[in-house]
A and B are shown apart, each in its own frame.
Chain A
């Protein structure tokens, strides 16, 4: 039987209450949301918090809405709701693509968006998707609220910029016209962690689709997971593509750069060269699909 070691349990009734409890418990406390990463780690003694602060009652953080020119996603949004959101699918289908391949439907019922980001697993999917769209994390502490680009949110495996007395409360993504986005993942079996995965968001200028050509890449974001890309992000590949025509040739060029610049580790999911190849190939596929969506030729 696998059960966690002893811990104290507190249940927060509001964000303020959660912050107050964290202040009282200090470094030994961990927030628990869906618990689908933290509890397994506690069973294996890979995590051993002194106290768990349960934030599942904080429905105030469970929302997806458009706020001004941004999509705002509450940290307690369950994976299932991100997957099912018509608003998300309309603006950023990358999240629908990613959510379809995150764990399984029953785990998605419980797991949360904020929990996934804060767990900071180096193979986590949403971290790459949020990096691709250049999202902003909203972090609250007793002293107030601060924002951090998701591309600076992760400081290493299982480490983030969120301080012990702070919590992630929201993720914001700018709504920009003329864009398309997509996520491509290879996994050993359905619901597994990625062998490698890539997310792409791009914004095109020029005559598109039926009326014109491929378009020019006004801006692009590329996220990678499970391949040791710093901050889940392929910045060199983005720099290459920005300002170039959105053609297969240029996508292949960006893909080569993405594959060359990541640092995968060999493990039971595959050797380094295979993962590097996948990082490139999946980058190309994600760019292709994102471009098709930007041109309106694919849903």
Chain B
């Protein structure tokens, strides 16, 4: 089947087999290997990407189901050379060891902050509870996402102050 999927803002048209999973479409057809492929059973969450802005496990979505929809992967997180605050948080807080779970964790972290800019530690743990870190580095993953929340709160405060001064 011929499908068109908008990935990170760019339309990609490809011929795929009906049984191709979204994770393999992203990695093998589009070469976007930032999305990892892990357990194949929707348990580990390393393949988490956004489908129409909602995090999903792409090993359990067919590529044909994404036809006409928007997908966002870890490659689409940064704004040019400027890392997303969630990515910066993972750098600042040592949020990864082997890095295998990292792309999925960051996509979930970004989605969480978009909905809830000030999540508690418990809320972050709940949000990432469908994803496994085989290095067991959860403490630093939670810190990284909290770091991004605080970074963005500070940025918002600065913007507001600037706006007030301008008025």
Instruction: Provide the A18-43 mask, 1 if CB < 8 A to any CB of B, else 0.
Output: 00000000000000100110011001
On whether the beta carbons of A107 and B19 are closer than 8 Å, the reply is no
> What per-residue 1/0 map shows which CB atoms of B29-62 lie under 8 Å from chain A?
0000000000011100100100100111100111
Mask for A41-75, Cβ within 8 A of B = 1, else 0? Answer: 00100000000101010000000000000000000
In the assembled complex, which residues on chain B have CB atoms less than 8 Å from the CB atom of A56?
65
Which chain B residues numbered 7 to 31 have a C-beta less than 8 Å away from chain A? 17-21, 24
Q: What is the size, in residues, of chain B's interface with A at 8 Å between Cβ atoms?
A: 29
Residue contact A6 to B18, C-beta cutoff 8 Å: yes
Which one of A98-106, A123-131, A208-216, A245-253 is at the B interface? A98-106
Is A106's CB under 8 angstroms from B40's CB?
Answer: no
Question: With A2-B40, A40-B42, A110-B61 in contact, do A105 and B56 touch (Cβ < 8 Å)?
Answer: no
Min distance, Cβ A269 to any Cβ of chain B, angstroms: 16
A178-192, CB < 8 A from B: 190-191
* Interface residue tally for chain A (C-beta within 8 Å): 28
Q: Which residues of A contact B120 (CB under 8 A)?
A: none
- On whether the beta carbons of B129 and A35 are closer than 8 Å, the reply is no
- Assess whether B20 is in contact with A40, with CB atoms less than 8 Å apart: no
Please tell me which one of the listed residues A3, A40, A106, A190 contacts residue B55 in the complex, with CB atoms under 8 A apart.
A106
B117 close to chain A: CB less than 8 A: no
C-alpha gap A32/B41 in the complex (Å) = 17
Q: State whether A106 touches B18 (Cβ < 8 A).
A: no
CB atoms of B65 and A35 under 8 A apart: yes
CB contact between A4 and one of B19, B48, B129, B130 (< 8 Å): that residue:
B19
Q: Which of A1, A9, A35, A109 contacts B40 (CB 8 A)?
A: A1
Chain A residues positioned under 8 Å from B48 (CB to CB):
106
User: Which residue of B18, B40, B130, B131 contacts A8 across the interface (Cβ within 8 Å)?
Assistant: B18
Beta-carbon contact of B21 and A106 below 8 Å: no
Let me know if B126 is at the binding interface, CB within 8 A: yes
Q: Which residues in B have their C-beta under 8 angstroms from that of A110?
A: 51, 54, 56-57, 60-61
Given contacts A36-B42, A43-B40, contact A6 B19 (CB under 8 A): yes
Identify the interface centre among B20, B54, B60, B129: most chain A CB within 10 Å of its CB. B60
Given known contacts A56-B65, A104-B129, A105-B126, A40 and B54 CB-to-CB distance under 8 angstroms: no
10 contacts between A and B (CB under 8 A): A8-B18, A11-B64, A32-B65, A35-B65, A36-B60, A43-B41, A105-B130, A106-B130, A107-B130, A190-B129
The 3 closest A-B pairs by CB, nearest first: A104-B130, A9-B18, A106-B130
Apart from A39-B60, A105-B108, A109-B56, list 5 A-B contacts with CB within 8 A: A6-B17, A8-B18, A35-B65, A104-B129, A107-B130
